[in-house]
Amino acid sequence: MKKLLLITLAIGMLACSTSEEKNTNEPDCNCDRVVQANYFNVVGTPVSYHCVYYTINDCTQVQKQKSYTTTDEATLPQVGQCR
């Protein structure tokens, strides 16, 4: 009787144990994450922002240097942003 109770208790504990959660921090392979951004504007020109920024793809580890020019300061690349 004790063995039956022990076996039932063991099966019940195994059924109630938590399963391993899936890793939710998997990198997005379609994302080039901005790691550095340098902004400047040229004196004597209309208000425009020039940016040279560096990205890295967390899946392939490929690093790229890109440039961007805009008149809207809100659209400048930010560190950590996907571009």
Report pLDDT digits (tens) over 14-25.
666 555 555 567
Nearest in space to 34 (alpha carbons), one of 59, 60, 69, 66: 66
**In the chain, what are the domain boundaries?**
28-72
Query: Pairing between strand 63-70 and 32-40?
Result: unpaired
Question: Who contacts 62 (Cβ-Cβ below 8 Å, separation ≥6)?
Answer: 56
Report pLDDT digits (tens) over 28-72.
888 999 999 999 887 777 788 899 999 999 999 999 999 999 888
pTM above 0.85, yes or no: no
